A and B are shown apart, each in its own frame.
Chain A
């Protein structure tokens, strides 16, 4: 059962071949069987999940109409609030924080009768590219337990890959959905900035963060997006753009669509085997009738620098609220209130979080603001302009998702800058705010490789259209880890 997709189990439920309670129980069985090895979950809510599953079964029995997501087990990254459950952000500082409210996406999922089975492991406060920065335990890649699942939404990606949930939610600030999706062989979508409300997502970098789904295939992605996308009056940055039925983009012909290949993304530093896989992917799309066009995005090389300034600066401010006063970890043995702040934060945050807070605080401090932050905001404008211009010429831009396959645990954890380079292909997309999806495109030595498709603002549908055509042609999403 655990290898089936969301739409496959939906069909079984519709045919009454399985009940939601049975499906939920089988998912918890799967978790108890494999999660000791994977480490995807930080918290499980079996009671709540079964209660919900029972409710949905009753609804179905009464012949009531139910949502596509009704009764199907799913899980949420631990930086998104679910009322009554802990939201730890995989940080000691929020170890015991019980969310007193639901995030907007959580509310939407609950309204659609989703069965929320638990909260997923991640890099602390979503800062990292390997999920090794969790304060509690490391997540392992289901394809190779000695390797990382990517990050920061490593738990969200690994849970879907290992059949521990039918779909999950993650968040993406610089690649945190797409890079782990690539490394774990699943589909991960970062929608347009503002497509999904951030209300209830614990902010890392407000102007870059976006929630998105992890699914087993592209079809599932469209179904989940249908539910969680849309305007929310509680998030000022949420877009008032109408939500389409994204499933209408499935099973479509892509003949004549223009696909741009930015030459800067295929330069040195790209693993040659990965290059081969992506070039293969390009051939597949060409065969399906797409027009391939080489383009140039020269500003992309500045994106990572812009990212580290903006993301760290915003983070330094966003994370100021974790101070041991109103909630969260409070150190013992402090002398006064300043000492309470310093000790609680120094003991409560991990190294990577501290590093970014330090960088961000420095970049915003008196005398440096113009040279770093303001400069980065201006270069951001140029990057945005470049993407806008590119989309006047092409429908979709195609790149690798990650320059490497899943690396070994500990391999990069001593070199922050090298770790940061894992995001080199994903970061520019967050700077521009456009949507991008990572879909399985092949394997190198049994390890998954993802292909990134980037779309124009609010053109998630176009991404799904091309991705689904690719998926039908290649069936890489059908390959499962042996765990």
Chain B
């Protein structure tokens, strides 16, 4: 029997507000422990929550960017559970009335675009941070009350790959809209996955497991892949899948049971009596709509239509706001969009990947990349040399003209100089001349390569081609 996976994701994203969701304490990351706290976010007796307006605006912005309906009347709810990092022992969140619902994200599959549904987006507070040390657990409440949105997808994904694409697109949208900086390493983007399997072609859902503790997109992909395989094997061995929460163990590369359904929480949700109804009017929504930036999908379409970029390239370039910004800046500084795209898709991203860096870390300024492209196009340097120049630029951040000048990398376009090199090479390779005369045109390529090598890559390739052919014909 063939199985298919059913995957839903729950993503928590920290919002980019200056203050916490229910009090005026700063959300700044990295303060000394328990110094960004007050009676409200420490859950002191008598303290009361007051909702940060900006939190609502950001959540609406995310909702609009993710094609959601905005629910105009909502209220907050309490989710009750005891945990040392949860100061009130309940979390103020939304339950029956999420702020946004019924949206979607598009992902590009080989056989076309797929819409992955978004079930709901709601606002809530983060918990504190518990550090587990040998002699006890130490709690820091600086993060307690930091605003989050929880984005719950529909169970629309069918593979780990799709889940990863969904996450990548979601991250790009949240960054484009500046709703969240989505820094996984600072905990501002977190993801849990619900995974089940079913015989392919059926529509009923299987028993699902929830996977937690995945600290990178790669971990999400690996954990889901593992879990799908584990469930299929279990079914094939005649075992039953149990509804449970499992944690991803990065080192072991497997998911491990955390708690079963019997131990599952009874959260006792009820409307938060310390707060009041939240009403969002059309004007508020329209103002946010007007402030929405060009989103990845729109940008991608523009790159394809306006710049004539291939779909794949446009997709990569718009996958992050920073990368798209880099591309657009390079074009703004005079580079032809196709050249700029080729360079970014090629040397730039390859080098960054090799070094495990991102576009935010690059020393090469967009204007210098544009200049480098210009140097190729006006014949100052060859493409081969340009790659070398780029390597230097990447290391030092110097501008290309300086590098070309200092290292004498200017292209040789003097016909006589090149002809001399060609003849020298032909003299040294009589066999190639012979082969050419016997009709083996491949021999010409070899000669061209040797000439380029002899010129240290500086010879104008078109001229080399032309002169090699001329000289061969002469012999």
Chains A and B share a contact (CB less than 8 Å): yes
Would you call B45 and A94 a contact (CB within 8 A)?
yes
Q: A206-B273, A364-B80 are in contact. List 10 more A-B contacts (CB 8 A).
A: A79-B46, A103-B46, A198-B46, A199-B48, A236-B49, A237-B276, A320-B82, A365-B266, A366-B266, A377-B271
Chain A residues with Cβ below 8 Å from B39 are 100-101
Chain A residues with Cβ below 8 Å from B276 are 236-237
Chain A interface, DSSP helix/strand/loop, else mixed: loop
With the chains together, A366 CA to B269 CA distance in Å?
9
Interface pair B268/A364, CB less than 8 Å apart = yes
Stretch at the interface among B86-94, B155-163, B178-186, B395-403: B86-94
Task: List residues 20-52 of chain B with CB under 8 A from any CB of chain A.
Answer: 39, 42-51
Q: Among A87, A236, A337, A377, which residue has its beta carbon within 8 angstroms of that of B48?
A: A236
- Contact in complex: B273, A325 (CB < 8 Å): no
Q: What are 27 A-B contacts with C-beta separation under 8 Å? A: A80-B46, A81-B46, A87-B46, A89-B45, A97-B45, A99-B45, A101-B47, A198-B48, A200-B47, A202-B46, A235-B48, A236-B276, A237-B275, A237-B276, A314-B270, A316-B268, A317-B78, A320-B82, A320-B88, A321-B43, A322-B45, A325-B139, A326-B44, A327-B44, A337-B137, A365-B266, A366-B268
A327 partner residues in chain B, CB cutoff 8 A: 44-45
Which residues of chain A come closer than 8 Å to B80, judged between CB atoms?
A: 316-317, 320, 364
Decide yes or no whether A361 CB sits under 8 A from chain B.
Answer: yes
Number of A-B residue pairs at CB separation under 8 A? 100
The tally of residues in A whose CB lies under 8 Å from a CB in B reads: 46
Q: Which of A202, A206, A361 contacts B268 (CB 8 A)?
A: A361
Type the 1/0 row for A72-110, where 1 means its CB is closer than 8 Å to any CB of B.
000000011100000101000010010111010000000
Q: Which residues in chain A, 196-232, are within 8 Å of chain B measured between CB atoms?
A: 198-203, 205-207
Compute how far the CA of A233 lies from the CA of B52 in the bound complex, rounded to whole angstroms: 12
Q: Give CA–CA (A203, B276) in the complex, Å.
A: 16
**In the assembly, what is the distance between CA of A221 and CA of B267, in Å?**
43
Q: A233-B50, A320-B80 are in contact. Are A100 and B270 (CB under 8 A)?
A: no
Q: How far is the CA of A103 from the CA of B266 in the complex (A)?
A: 33
User: Which B residues touch A202, using CB under 8 A?
Assistant: 45-46
Inter-chain contact B82/A341, CB cutoff 8 Å? yes
Q: Given A205-B273, A236-B275, A320-B90, answer yes or no on A200-B84 (Cβ-Cβ < 8 Å).
A: no
Main secondary structure of the interface of B (DSSP, over half): loop
Residues of A within 8 A of B347 (CB): none
Mark each residue of chain B from 119 to 150: 1 if its CB lies under 8 Å from any CB of chain A, else 0: 00000000000000000010100000000000
Closest CB in chain A relative to B147 CB, distance in Å: 16
CA distance A100 to B37 in the complex (A): 12
From A101, A237, A337, B84 is in contact (CB under 8 Å) with A337
- Interface status of A302 (Cβ within 8 A of chain B): no
Q: Known contacts A207-B273, A314-B273, A365-B266; decide if A101 and B50 are in contact (CB<8 Å).
A: no
Q: How far is the CA of A89 from the CA of B45 in the complex (A)?
A: 10
| Chain A positions within 8 Å of B88 at CB level | 320-321
**Within the complex, which residue of B87, B89, B274 is in contact with A206, where a contact is CB–CB below 8 Å?**
B274
- Give 6 closest A-B pairs by Cβ, nearest first: A320-B89, A364-B268, A206-B273, A207-B273, A202-B45, A200-B46
Interface string of A233-256 (1 = CB under 8 A from B): 111110000000000000000000
From B38, which residue of chain A is reached at the shortest CB distance? Answer: A101
Q: Which A positions have Cβ atoms within 8 angstroms of B? A: 79-81, 87, 89, 94, 97, 99-101, 103, 198-203, 205-207, 233-237, 313-314, 316-317, 320-323, 325-327, 337-338, 341, 361, 364-366, 369, 373, 377
Residues of B within 8 A of A377 (CB): 271
Contacting A199 at CB < 8 Å: which of B47, B271, B275? Answer: B47
In the assembly, what is the distance between CA of A94 and CA of B49, in Å? 22
- Residues on the A chain within 8 Å of B50, using CB: 233-236
**Which residues in B have their C-beta under 8 angstroms from that of A326?**
42-44, 87
With a CB–CB cut-off of 8 A, which chain A residues contact B139? 325
What 0/1 readout, one digit per residue, does chain B (76-115) give for beta carbons within 8 Å of chain A? 0010101010011110000000000000000000000000
- Give the one of B43, B45, B49 with max A CB within 10 A: B45
Is A365 touching B268 in the complex (CB atoms < 8 A)? yes
Question: Which of B44, B78, B266, B275 is the one whose CB lies under 8 Å from A100?
Answer: B44
Task: Assess the B46–A201 pair: CB atoms within 8 A.
Answer: yes
Q: How far is the CA of A425 from the CA of B326 in the complex (A)?
A: 71
A residues in contact with B51, CB < 8 Å: 236
By beta carbon, the residue of chain B nearest A368 is B268
